[in-house]
Amino acid sequence: MSSLLIKLFIKNSENTASPAVRKRYGFLAGVVGIICNLVLFALKLFVGIISGSVSIAADAFNNLSDMGSSVISMLGFRMALKPADPDHPYGHGRFEYISALIVSGLIIIMGFELIKSSVEKLINGGTVFFSAVSVVILSVSILIKLWLFLFNRKLASKISSEVLKATARDSLNDALTTFAILVSVVLSLTLNVNVDAYLGIALSLFIMWTGFKTAKEALNPLLGEPLQKQTAEEIEQTIMSFEGFLGIHDLVAHNYGPGRCFASVHVEVPANTDIINCHEQIDLCEKLVLTKLGIQLTIHMDPVETDNEKLTEAKNTMAEKIREIDPRLSIHDFRMTPKSDMRTNLIFDVVLPAEESFDKRFLKAQIEEIAREIDSTYCCVITFDIDFTAGK
């Protein structure tokens, strides 16, 4: 069914890098979500009213909020397609993340309203009347929500959309919620035990937890998250496939929405390289990364001395000793500038992992002591960098 809908309503569906195709995916998900959730709202509200069940009625309004989420998702995709303007030169792609954040907010609000209703029902009491019709309608609802989960997950996977991932997760949560309600209905019919209010409280806590989890995932790209490890490795492999490039460091990326990633990196080249040929290689590499990964890459050229044996030995020895302090530490931009027979400056950068808080003053003292043990004339000029590529 999902493949058929994609084939019928999305032209050039495989060209997911196209903003227009992304918009059609988003609109298809939105329209399908609105129709399904409107039907589920009407069915569950009917069952909730005739049975007097607070959990079913709350679940009905949860589907109504899901319909609102679908509308927000559609608006998010539409706004994300707005072209760049003088105030937003990187475009409006982050509207997709904002939409996902709004959807998560609706999930949290729905959970809060459900817990209020459940506590009131627990305090005030009340009788719940279930029938076989309730069981049938709830069973159909579970099947529809499971299909919506699979449908949205497939679309999210095709276009790497955070808002559709959030929508898919919400559909799965709804299916689990309705399944729990169905269990309570069966218990009420067979054992004459009313667990409606208790179940409502448990479900509301689960819904709110899901909302907070979804909000966190929506906030990550807005706050700034590292490149995925696989993407960083693909960039490095692409760069290192060019002849004359010795290594890379300081890879930094900024995400302005799906398909709107800008990155910069320092590429080490031999100090005696032909600068015109190197510039041409850099241009070709930037275009190749854009073609393969859709990333606007800017390369900074770092000249490295390759024929200075003393410098190479000092660099390798320092790198090895610094890794003994912490295996996650690395160095780059290593230079050696003799000032006199009594002093030789070692100028280099030390890369620190982003997740740890190092005492830089103490670490600097450790590294300086290592340098003096290697050669008493060595004096370190250290710049500390952060590793911005520590993604998953």
Instruction: Give the chain's mean pLDDT.
Output: 83
Angle of the 2-9 helix axis to the 132-159 helix axis, nearest 10: 50
Q: State mean pLDDT over 355-381.
A: 90
For residue 49, the model assigns a pLDDT of: 80
- What is the percent of the chain where pLDDT is above 70? 93
**Region 74-78 average pLDDT:** 74
Q: Which residue has the tokens 């072209």?
A: 83
Are 70 and 16 in the same domain? yes
Q: How many structural domains does the chain have? A: 3
Tell me, yes or no, whether 133 and 267 share the same domain: no
Percent of the chain with pLDDT over 90: 25
pLDDT higher than 70, residue 130: no
Note the pLDDT tens digit of each residue in 160-217. Answer: 777 788 788 878 878 887 887 777 777 766 766 667 677 777 777 877 887 888 788 7
Q: Look at 32-46, 168-182, 232-246 and tell me which has the smallest mean pLDDT.
A: 168-182
Residues 172, 30 share a domain: yes
- Comparing CA positions, the residue from 142, 137, 117, 128 lying closest to residue 200 is 117
User: Which CATH number characterizes residue 236's domain?
Assistant: 3.30.70.1350
Which of 254, 282, 305 is the last residue before a domain boundary?
Answer: 305
Same-domain pairing of 88 and 218: yes
Say which range, 124-133, 148-157, 177-186, 276-285, has the weakest mean pLDDT. 124-133
Q: What is the CATH number of the domain that holds 202?
A: 1.20.1510.10
One DSSP character per residue, 377-390 reads TEEEEEEEEEE---
Average pLDDT over residues 61-85: 75
Q: What is the pLDDT of residues 84-129, one digit of tens each?
A: 788 888 878 788 778 778 878 877 887 787 788 778 777 776 555 6
Half-sphere exposure of 173 (CA within 13 A, CB side): 27
**Residue 377 is part of which domain span?**
308-392
Residue 337: its pLDDT value, please? 86
The whole-number average pLDDT for the span 339-350 is 86
Alpha helices in 224-328 (DSSP H): 229-240, 275-293, 309-325
Per-residue pLDDT at 289: 92
Residues 188 and 131 in one domain: yes
DSSP assignment of 15-64: -TTSHHHHHHHHHHHHHHHHHHHHHHHHHHHHHHHHHT-HHHHHHHHHHH
Task: Say yes or no: 157 and 62 in one domain.
Answer: yes
